[in-house]
Chains A and B, each alone.
Chain A
Amino acid sequence: MLEREPDYPVPWTPLPYGLRECMFGLVTYGGLYQRGVEPPFDIEREEKEPTWGDPSYRSIPTGICQDQVGVSHLHLNVQDVTSDINILLPVHRFQELVQQGRMGGLAELAYSFMGYQGFPPDTTAWEKNYGPQVTEKFKSEGVDCVFLTPA
């Protein structure tokens, strides 16, 4: 547990129901995208401007097949996630949990960000635009809880 007070007040939404009733959404920071449907993250610009990181996000159907998974992230060895998406976005594990009746449901779309947000990091676009957009999309699918996996 905490050994010191955080710098800012921590927001808190109590779990509304037991997990068996909750609809889940998934978010990764692994730079994943659906090949052939959405473009990769803009790593070409990052190569030219190393202090900048792409703040946008991609939508990933939770029924995605492994061969549709693309990864654009210049700060990680992406070989392992290219062979198994579940180490960063556990779509198949969550489908299994839903089938076992351990949770109420899984949203059809998950969302992927690319964790490198520049140096020094600038998260303004996440806070002002993309975070709220993803929140609204989750709400429109009836999501109650979100499982986040930074890379």
Chain B
Amino acid sequence: MNVPVLARTLERAGLSTILVTNMPYWAEKVGVPRTLAVEFPFGHTLGQPRDISQQMRVIREALDVLENAQAPGAIVHSGEVWPIPQDKAIQSWQPEKPSPIIEHLAPRFREMLRQRRRPVT
């Protein structure tokens, strides 16, 4: 839910914004002026490293949204496809060790799963 905040702040102060994100849910829920939604892994918003043509295609799509959106809240879905199978892509964006909040919440998640698996009596 932090995704929309800066775009909204900048736009409110008189700057036109375009946001590129793989979390368009939050752009839609909270409200972002203009969004290009990409189905790319976390940490790779504009594409793969050193793939200049892929990066440029995404940027041009985003600039088209900036130039052509007619009303606040525009969300356009990118036509770009991540060239690595989803199961591998999902693994590769993960940090080497779980983030502190994931480690902090893990016992709670494990307990929730245990409760769910417990047979109903």
Contacts and interface: CB of A to CB of B under 8 A. Distances in A.
A87 B9 contact: no
A131 B74 contact: no
A27 B6 contact: yes
A46 to B, nearest CB: 6
A18 to B, nearest CB: 8
A150 B10 contact: no
B107 to A, nearest CB: 12
Instruction: Determine chain B's interface SS by DSSP, over half rule.
Output: mixed
The residue among B42, B62, B101 with the most chain A CB atoms within 10 A of its own CB is: B101
A11 interface: yes
Contacts of A93: 46, 52, 55-56, 59
A148 B2 CA distance: 13
Contact of A80 (B19, B43, B73, B101): B43
23 contacts: A10-B73, A19-B67, A22-B16, A27-B6, A27-B10, A51-B101, A73-B43, A74-B99, A76-B93, A78-B43, A87-B55, A93-B56, A116-B99, A117-B2, A135-B9, A139-B14, A144-B15, A144-B16, A145-B18, A145-B66, A146-B7, A147-B18, A148-B7
